Amino acid sequence: MPAHAQDLVLSNLPPSRTQQKLALSVALLIVLAAFFISATGEQQVKLAAVDALVPLYGMAMFVSDSITAVLLFTQFSIVRSRALLIISSGYVWTALVVIPWLLSFPGVFAPHGLLGGSSSEITVWLYALWHAGFPMFVIAYALLKTAQPPMQLRRMSAGSAILSCIVVTATAISAATYLLIAFQAHLPRFMEDAVNFSALWYYTAVIIALLSILAIILLWIRRKSLLDLWLMVVMLVFLTEVLISSFPVSARFSLGWYAGRTCSLLSGSLILFVLLYEITIVYARLIGAVRAQSRERGARLVTGDAVAATIAHEIKQPLAAIMTRAETGLRWLDRSLPELERAKEQFKEIVADGRRAAAVIEGIRANFKKDAQIRIWLDINVLIEETLTLVHGDLQQHRILVRAESQAELPQIMGDRIQLQQVLLNLITNAIEAMASKDGLRVLAVISELTKDGGIAVSIADTGKGIPSKETDQIFNPLFTTKPEGMGMGLSICRSIVESHDGNLLVFPNSPQGAVFQIILHATRPTSRTSA
Ligand code: ADP
């Protein structure tokens, strides 16, 4: 089993500081309450006699101990440690021994119990077995837990091991009950008469108390896990129960008797609460992990899609141009009298398109590798000029008139040259495509100016088909496109690049027709002219 699965099991999970404090507080509270009751010397004060309480108490013990045993067995089936098998059997023991104890209890199912003879004698014997047995299971658990090499069950299946434990424990309890009934006349007596206990009971109570103390000491020495910590509290409550109801022996329905039952219920259900709490926490963590995993998978798919779409989108256009120009160039050369000058022009354009494709790939790489951005001081007008040169062929092909205007004194800006060129290239290509699909005057205006706060605004205005107002919000969304061959990635990439430069990318309608995209880059004061 993988190490991290082991770490999630209660018997291996180390207790947190809060859990340690909580356990200490619970233990202190119980010991103080018991001390308070003993100090008043009022244990024998008779409280209301609720007859239904004994069967209810028995049922509650049976249910909570059985559930605890089932949960502990489940933990055992994960880690397969013998120690866990033993402590689970301890809870099976306490759950099952309650049955004959309740059957024999005088006045519960019959005035003298259902097991015949001197039933209260059998009841006390069963009580003694119950209370002496549990600390022994805890001692065995503590000893096995730190045994080296770790005592793990390998040969037997978890199911058979659990079944064997239940069968052995149930057989032991049945045999003990049978022997108690069969030989009750020969047994040393716990009761002197119907009300008073003999010295044997006090010896037994001392033995149970000593066993509980030994269990606490062993757990303390070997304590490592959450289960160890809470078992210590359980044993402390268990010890308190024995002391409070035996020294002196509390009569039924007295304050001491009620306090003893409360301790017993508490010690029986503490581990159950802790188990349920921890299992819920692990379950919540599991749900969180599954959600995070599926989110991550989704994000990876989207990123993968986005990268593929971007590469396809950005590269397709220069590639198509390269092919057309290569064919045209070849045609010029194929003539009977080759037109060398014209062919040369086409090949120059091919070189420019190739550079453009390379720039685009660099841009995509820089965009996805955020740390790899190279920020330098640059002149935006030079960048615009270079970009217009890259699309020179397209502009000519679609008979587009270019108006490039600039305020002479523009400050330099700090930015990633390749990324900003990619933005300009994308916006200009979109403008060309918007105008190519429409007849009429085709004008591309690229205007750079100073903004009021000393930054730079670059507007790319076209006289194309324009953007319907209902689409203005969507065009920046990844994968939104209205073009049959479009990828819908260009504008979303442009916006993320501009925003990573602390700028804004805006869009508004051009007058009388078309669209204007405006890049706003805020002012940055040059301190040095070196690469950042
Ligand atoms: P693509 O160009 O692959 O469709 P973009 O993200 O670059 O992806 O553009 C998204 C959409 O925005 C385009 O399909 C188009 O409808 C619209 N668009 C972008 N620029 C313009 C423009 N200059 N004129 C009109 N519509 C535009």
Query: Ligand 1, from 310, 443, 444, 481: best to mutate by most atoms within 8 Å of Cβ?
Result: 481
Q: Which residues contact 114 (CB under 8 A, 6 or more apart)?
A: 103, 104
Q: Are strands 401-406 and 443-450 parallel, antiparallel or unpaired?
A: parallel
In short, whether 487's Cβ falls inside 6 Å of ligand 1 is yes
If 0-12 CB within 10 Å is exposed, 13-18 middle and 19+ buried, where does residue 413 land?
Answer: buried
386 strand-pairing partners: none
Q: What is the pLDDT of residue 461?
A: 97
Same fold, 3-294 and 373-521: no
If 0-12 CB within 10 Å is exposed, 13-18 middle and 19+ buried, where does residue 265 land?
Answer: middle
Q: Is the pTM of this model over 0.75?
A: no
Q: Which of 59, 85, 64, 249 is nearest to 152 (CA)?
A: 85
In short, whether 480's Cβ falls inside 6 Å of ligand 1 is yes
Q: What is the pLDDT of residue 285?
A: 79
Q: Which residues contact 29 (CB under 8 A, 6 or more apart)?
A: none
- Work out the angle between the directed axes of helices 53-79 and 255-334 (0-180°, nearest 10): 30
- Cβ pair 158, 126 in contact under 8 A: no
Question: Which fold does the domain 3-294 belong to in CATH?
Answer: Rhopdopsin 7-helix transmembrane proteins (1.20.1070)
Query: Ligand 1, from 310, 426, 427, 475: best to mutate by most atoms within 8 Å of Cβ?
Result: 475
Ordered by start, the domain boundaries in the chain are 3-294, 373-521
Q: What is the pLDDT of residue 117?
A: 61
- How far does residue 481's CA lie from ligand 1's centre (Å)? 6
Q: Which residues contact 55 (CB under 8 A, 6 or more apart)?
A: 102, 108, 109
- Cβ pair 418, 366 in contact under 8 A: yes
Q: Show the DSSP H helices in 44-157 as ranges.
A: 53-79, 82-104, 119-145
Q: Report which protein residue has its CA nearest ligand 1's atom 25.
A: 466
b/e string for 458-469 if b means 16 or more Cβ within 10 A? Answer: bbbbbbbbbbee
- Cβ pair 516, 459 in contact under 8 A: yes
Q: What is the pLDDT of residue 227?
A: 87
Q: What is the residue type of 363? A: G
In short, whether 434's Cβ falls inside 6 Å of ligand 1 is yes
Q: Which of 2, 484, 51, 8 is nearest to 284 (CA)?
A: 8
Query: Ligand 1, from 491, 498, 510: best to mutate by most atoms within 8 Å of Cβ?
Result: 491
- Cβ pair 318, 354 in contact under 8 A: yes
Atom of ligand 1 nearest to the CA of 313: 3
Q: What is the pLDDT of residue 52?
A: 81
In short, whether 431's Cβ falls inside 6 Å of ligand 1 is yes
Q: What is the pLDDT of residue 300?
A: 54
- How far does residue 475's CA lie from ligand 1's centre (Å)? 6
CATH 3.40.50.1010 given to domain 373-521: no
Q: What is the residue type of 494? A: C
- How would you write the pLDDT of the chain (532 residues) with one tens digit per residue? 444 455 566 667 788 888 889 889 988 888 888 778 777 766 677 777 777 888 898 999 999 999 999 999 988 888 888 888 999 999 999 999 999 998 988 877 777 777 766 557 888 899 899 999 999 999 999 998 876 655 566 677 888 999 999 999 999 999 999 998 888 888 888 877 766 778 888 899 999 999 999 999 999 987 778 888 999 999 998 888 888 777 777 777 777 778 888 888 888 888 888 888 888 887 887 887 777 776 656 555 555 666 677 677 778 878 888 999 999 999 999 998 889 999 999 999 899 888 888 877 777 776 666 555 678 888 999 999 988 988 888 898 899 999 999 987 889 888 888 889 889 989 999 999 999 988 889 999 999 999 988 889 999 999 999 999 889 888 998 778 898 877 788 898 889 889 888 899 999 999 899 999 999 998 765 443 333 3
Q: What is the pLDDT of residue 280?
A: 84
In short, whether 438's Cβ falls inside 6 Å of ligand 1 is no
106 φ, ψ (degrees, to nearest 5): -65, 130
